[in-house]
């Protein structure tokens, strides 16, 4: 399928694939096994300008949009989904800043993100606020000299490794979600520490940690946009970032499909390569259809986001749900085709299957996103009634 990418988009995609194959592939099993943060790969990605892709040109970026970010994420995820999310989470960590930050704030933080000298992270989830994202408890009390942060953020991707955190906290706890604000917190700010590093089923090279704030004083100028808009800013951010999770799913599923085809070609049973058997062929064909359909939807949603359309909630939710469900199914089938070997850690598909599960959970569970899609269905019906 040809998605009519521009010359620059093709260049970005090709280079991301090259980095994935030449630099990530040789170390991916080791990174997974040791649950080691991929700093070496981050440096390679930085040197290749990959962190510039999603940053506007005036802040040393290349001015790409959602689609460009998806292309890189997809290619990295084809080899290692854990590396892909590490990369994409840095984008997530600075997208609120790009959208709502002042000129001064952008000048201060974005060039370092673009150069890959510093990673970003985004923090909304808390022990009490998962799907019920508005139920956050972390406070940012206005005091002399800035905001005083108290509370704990949970399951934060790039936690401990990132330097620049966008944190959603209550600047007015009497107003609930309407009292939430987005605030930049730099690593090493006194009162800001990290909880334990989580041990995960998959994407094990990526870092997932708690952020702990105890009387952490952040200067007033770190507030992003207006106070009280933090929750809305976060929801809008996810509307734009979800195609990226879809792209992560597409890449992961593509990698699993390729591994399954490779195995089916080599594996001989009943005196024939198993790829000659109709049962295997149909499984592979179904996987291929799922991957391509997911890719088409993800690219379409990403382009819709880049068009500047006002309400992209439904499209980006669809792309994320469909692609992540496809990735789960395709990776399970890839393990099935590879049989006993596929279950062993010597082969890559068991890792891919473990990596796939999170895609149905983070950045909105697929159930919550189906709710959002259904809400839009009802709204449309109401409008035409």
Partner 1 sequence: MNIVVCLKQVPGTTEVKIDPQTNTLIRQGIENIINPFDTYALEEGVRLKEKHGGKVTVITMGPPQADAALREAVSLGADEAILLSDRAFAGADTWATAYTLSQALVKIKTYDLIICGRQTIDGDTGQVGPEMAEMLEMPFIAYVSNIEEIKDKYLRVKRMVEEGHEVIETTLPAVITVAKEINVPRLPSLRGIMKSKNVAIQTWGIKELGVDAGKAGLAGSSTQVIKVFFPQRVTKAEILEGTLEERVDKLFDRLKKAGLC
Which residue, 59, 77, 82, is CA-closest to 13? 77
Rounded to a whole number of angstroms, the minimum distance from the CB of residue 219 to partner 1 is 33
363 is catalytic: yes
Rounded to a whole number of angstroms, the minimum distance from the CB of residue 7 to partner 1 is 9
Q: Is the CB of 23 or the CB of 200 nearer to partner 1? A: 23
Q: Which of residues 52-81 bind partner 1 (CB under 8 A)?
A: 52-53, 62
Q: Which helix (H) or strand (E) holds 152?
A: strand 146-157
- Give the dihedral of Cα atoms 231, 236, 240, 243; nearest 10 deg: 70
Rounded to a whole number of angstroms, the minimum distance from the CB of residue 2 to partner 1 is 21
Q: Which of residues 6-45 bind partner 1 (CB under 8 A)?
A: 8, 11-12, 15, 18-19, 22-23, 44
What radius of gyration do the chain's Cα atoms show?
Answer: 21
- Are 77 and 255 in contact, with CB atoms under 8 Å apart? yes
Rounded to a whole number of angstroms, the minimum distance from the CB of residue 49 to partner 1 is 4
- Are 48 and 72 in contact, with CB atoms under 8 Å apart? no
CA distance linking residue 309 with residue 376, whole number of Å = 15
Q: Is the CB of 16 or the CB of 352 nearer to partner 1? A: 16
- Are 255 and 327 in contact, with CB atoms under 8 Å apart? no
Residue 49 touches partner 1, criterion: CB under 8 A: yes
Q: Which of residues 312-371 bind partner 1 (CB under 8 A)?
A: none
Contacts of residue 188, defined as CB under 8 A and 6 or more positions apart, other chains included, come to none
Q: Is the CB of 21 or the CB of 221 nearer to partner 1? A: 21
Count of residues interacting with partner 1 (CB under 8 A):
16
Q: Is the CB of 118 or the CB of 242 nearer to partner 1? A: 118
- Are 212 and 159 in contact, with CB atoms under 8 Å apart? no
- Are 219 and 145 in contact, with CB atoms under 8 Å apart? yes
Q: Is the CB of 23 or the CB of 351 nearer to partner 1? A: 23
CA distance linking residue 202 with residue 199, whole number of Å = 9
Rounded to a whole number of angstroms, the minimum distance from the CB of residue 19 to partner 1 is 6
Q: Catalytic residue numbers?
A: 363
Q: Which residues bind partner 1 (CB under 8 A)?
A: 8, 11-12, 15, 18-19, 22-23, 44, 47-50, 52-53, 62
């Amino acid at each position: 399928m040809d998605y009519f990418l521009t010359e620059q988009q093709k260049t970005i995609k090709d280079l991301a694939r090259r980095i994935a194959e030449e630099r990530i592939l040789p170390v991916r099993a080791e990174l997974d096994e040791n649950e080691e943060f991929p700093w070496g790969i981050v440096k390679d990605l930085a040197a290749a300008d990959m962190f510039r892709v999603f940053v506007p040109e005036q802040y040393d970026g290349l001015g790409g949009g959602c689609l460009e970010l998806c292309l890189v994420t997809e290619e990295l995820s084809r080899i290692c989904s854990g590396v892909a999310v590490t990369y994409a989470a840095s984008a997530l960590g600075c997208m609120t800043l790009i959208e709502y930050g002042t000129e001064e704030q952008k000048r201060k933080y974005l060039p370092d993100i673009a150069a890959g000298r510093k990673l970003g992270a985004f923090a909304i989830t808390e022990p009490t606020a998962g799907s019920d994202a508005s139920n956050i408890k972390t406070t940012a009390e206005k005091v002399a000299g800035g905001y005083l942060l108290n509370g704990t953020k949970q399951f934060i991707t790039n936690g401990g490794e990132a330097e620049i955190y966008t944190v959603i906290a209550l600047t007015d706890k009497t107003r609930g979600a309407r009292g939430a604000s987005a605030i930049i917190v730099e690593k090493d700010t006194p009162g800001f520490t990290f909880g334990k590093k989580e041990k995960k089923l998959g994407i094990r090279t990526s870092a997932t940690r708690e952020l702990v704030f105890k009387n952490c004083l952040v200067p007033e100028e770190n507030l992003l946009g207006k106070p009280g808009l933090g929750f809305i800013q976060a929801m809008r951010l996810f509307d734009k970032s979800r195609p990226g999770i879809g792209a992560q799913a597409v890449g992961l599923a593509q990698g699993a499909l390729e591994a399954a085809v490779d195995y089916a070609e080599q594996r001989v049973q009943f005196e024939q390569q198993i790829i000659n058997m109709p049962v295997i062929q149909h499984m592979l064909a179904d996987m291929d259809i799922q991957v391509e359909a997911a890719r088409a939807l993800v690219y379409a949603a990403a382009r819709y986001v880049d068009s500047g359309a006002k309400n992209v909630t439904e499209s980006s939710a669809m792309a994320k749900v469909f692609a992540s469900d496809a990735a789960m199914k395709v990776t399970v089938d890839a393990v099935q085709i590879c049989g006993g070997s596929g279950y062993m850690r010597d082969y890559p598909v068991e890792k891919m299957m473990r990596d796939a599960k999170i895609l149905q959970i983070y950045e909105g569970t697929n159930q919550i996103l189906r709710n959002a899609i259904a809400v839009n269905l009802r709204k449309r019906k109401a409008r035409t009634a």
